[in-house]
Each structure stands twice: as structure tokens, then as C-alpha cells.
């Protein structure tokens, strides 16, 4: 039996609940497995003969992935996790629902990728009105957090472009439809006391690569300056200077000096 084929077939078994049930019920029939090659069917037959032992490994695999789901939220979207817990959501069952929808995919050490996909899935459910709209808004905020971390997995991108203010690559801006700052100030109310509607601009920023992210509530003009940093020589309102200084201090923008070519 080819070791590589055996390994890949075992991974398929781990992700196929219908096949697992057939094996456990001892109802598996090779002729009913058109999706598998003859070599793969031989591997499945070997596991079918030892299904009692294989069942333990399957259950252990699923247990690990369920716990990994919780770990992914704890690391990437702790506010969303706390809000769900405060609402009495059964996280292990939610985990199983996600994993079944994703064929028990094993993300391994890719915690933030796992969290990104969880948030995508939760937000899609929220659009079906399963979750309160402010909670979906919170998920969107933490999606920006996760996206920021993922964008830095290969380091900080080099700044380029004309002189003036430029993004550092260490911040993301989220425009929320509810006053999520209420939840950020009082995390005990997450998921329980719904914040009122009202647009807010929340900046997610990393002071440096060794620090955790922070949230800053920005005035609309400050948010506009982040979205479109002024280039060198662009006209500025006299009130823009403190906003730009705040964005630079938050490591969201950097001022690129004008360089003169020596001839």
C-alpha cells in the first residue's frame, strides 16, 4: 500500500462524515464509492476492518478542531467570542456547525486564517438575521483586525509613492453603523446591551510588530484624512494639522519627506 495514497485517503475519511458513518455502521460498500480510485478504496477497506480503532482517531481529530475554533476566536476576535458567550451561544455546537459547513478542514497553525473564515461565515449568517445587527457590525470590525494581522505575515510593506503622508500598513479603518465604542468602553455589556445606531469611525492600529492592536475613535475629518492622505503641496485646512499628527502618532500614517535629486 502506497504511504502517500494511504495518508491522503485517511485525510479524506476525516473530512467525510457520511463515509465515517458508513464505516462505523459497517455499511460501507466499495462499489458505492465512485469518488475514490481503486487504490483509495483499498485503503478505506483496510480502515473498515479496524473501524473501532479508527473511530477513536476520528473523534480525537474532531475534538481538536472544535477546540481550535475557540482558540482562533480567542486570538483573532475576542470581542465577538465574548459577545457570543454573553448571549448564551453554545460555542462547541457553533464550532461543529462551522466545521461541517467547511468539511472539517484542518487549518493547523494558521489561526488568523481560521478566524477570518469563521468571521466570514458568522457575518453571512448575520445577513440572514441570525445575529443582531450590532453584533454583525462588531464582527466586521474584528474582521478588519484579522485582515491587518494577515497582511503583515510577510512583514511591513515598504512605503512608496510621492512625498507627503502615506499609510504605514499598520492600521485599518472601519466605519461602523452602530456606536461600537460603547462596547469597547464597557466590555461587560458585549452582546447584551445593544449600542444605539450611529456612524462611527474606528481605527485599528498596531504601535509596532511586537504589540497588540488598539482601537481609536476618529472624528469624521480625521477618518477622511486617513482614507486619502494628503500628498506634498496639497492644500490643508488649518484644523487638519492635529488630525494628521494624531494619525502619525498612532502609527497609521507616515510623513514622507520631499527628496531633491543631486545633479
Determine the pLDDT at residue 130. 85
Q: Is 6 exposed, middle or buried (0-12, 13-18, 19+ CB in 10 A)?
A: middle
- By the 8 A CB rule, do 226 and 171 touch? yes
pLDDT for 142-194, tens place per residue?
Answer: 999 999 999 998 877 766 666 788 999 999 999 999 999 999 999 999 999 99
- pTM of the predicted protein model: 0.83
Determine the average pLDDT of the residues in 94-100: 92
CA-to-CA distance for 120 and 113, rounded, in angstroms?
A: 11
pLDDT for 20-70, tens place per residue?
Answer: 666 666 666 665 666 777 777 776 776 777 777 777 787 788 888 899 999
- By the 8 A CB rule, do 183 and 87 touch? no
CA-to-CA distance for 195 and 181, rounded, in angstroms?
A: 8
- Nearest alpha carbon to residue 107 among 75, 144, 151: 75
Alpha carbon of 215 to those of 140, 145, 157: distances in Å?
14, 10, 21
Q: Give the chain's mean pLDDT.
A: 86
Q: Strand, helix or coil at 218?
A: strand
37 conformational bin, left if phi > 0, alpha if psi -120 to 50, beta if neither: beta
CA-to-CA distance for 237 and 49, rounded, in angstroms?
A: 77
**Three-state DSSP string of 69-123:** HHHHHHHHCHHHHHHHHHCCCCHHHHHHHHHHHCCCCCCCCCHHHHHHHHHHHHH
- Beta bridge partner(s), residue 255: 165
Residues 6+ apart with CB under 8 A from 194: 132, 134, 178
DSSP code for 43: H
Amino acid at each position: 500500500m502506497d504511504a502517500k495514497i494511504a495518508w491522503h485517503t485517511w485525510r479524506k475519511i476525516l473530512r467525510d462524515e457520511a463515509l465515517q458513518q458508513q464505516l462505523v455502521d459497517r455499511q460501507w460498500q466499495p462499489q458505492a464509492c465512485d469518488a475514490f480510485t481503486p487504490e483509495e478504496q483499498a485503503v478505506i477497506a483496510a480502515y473498515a476492518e479496524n473501524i473501532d480503532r479508527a473511530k477513536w482517531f476520528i473523534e480525537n481529530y474532531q475534538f481538536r478542531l472544535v477546540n481550535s475554533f475557540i482558540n482562533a476566536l480567542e486570538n483573532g476576535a475576542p470581542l465577538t467570542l465574548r459577545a457570543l458567550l454573553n448571549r448564551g451561544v453554545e460555542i462547541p455546537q457553533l464550532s461543529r456547525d462551522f466545521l461541517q459547513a467547511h468539511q472539517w478542514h484542518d487549518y493547523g497553525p494558521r489561526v488568523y486564517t481560521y478566524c477570518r473564515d469563521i468571521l466570514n461565515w458568522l457575518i453571512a449568517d448575520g445577513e440572514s438575521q441570525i445575529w443582531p445587527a450590532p453584533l454583525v457590525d462588531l464582527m466586521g470590525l474584528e474582521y478588519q483586525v484579522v485582515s491587518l494581522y494577515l497582511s503583515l505575515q510577510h512583514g511591513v510593506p515598504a512605503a512608496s509613492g510621492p512625498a507627503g503622508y502615506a499609510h504605514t500598513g499598520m492600521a485599518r479603518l472601519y466605519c461602523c453603523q452602530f456606536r461600537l465604542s460603547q462596547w469597547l468602553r464597557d466590555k461587560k455589556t458585549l452582546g447584551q446591551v445593544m449600542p444605539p445606531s450611529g456612524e462611527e469611525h474606528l481605527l485599528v492600529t498596531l504601535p509596532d510588530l511586537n504589540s497588540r492592536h488598539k482601537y481609536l475613535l476618529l472624528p469624521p475629518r480625521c477618518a477622511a484624512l486617513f482614507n486619502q492622505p494628503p500628498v506634498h503641496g496639497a492644500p490643508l485646512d488649518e484644523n487638519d494639522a492635529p488630525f494628521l499628527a494624531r494619525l502619525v502618532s498612532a502609527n497609521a500614517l507616515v510623513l514622507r519627506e520631499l527628496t531633491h535629486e543631486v545633479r
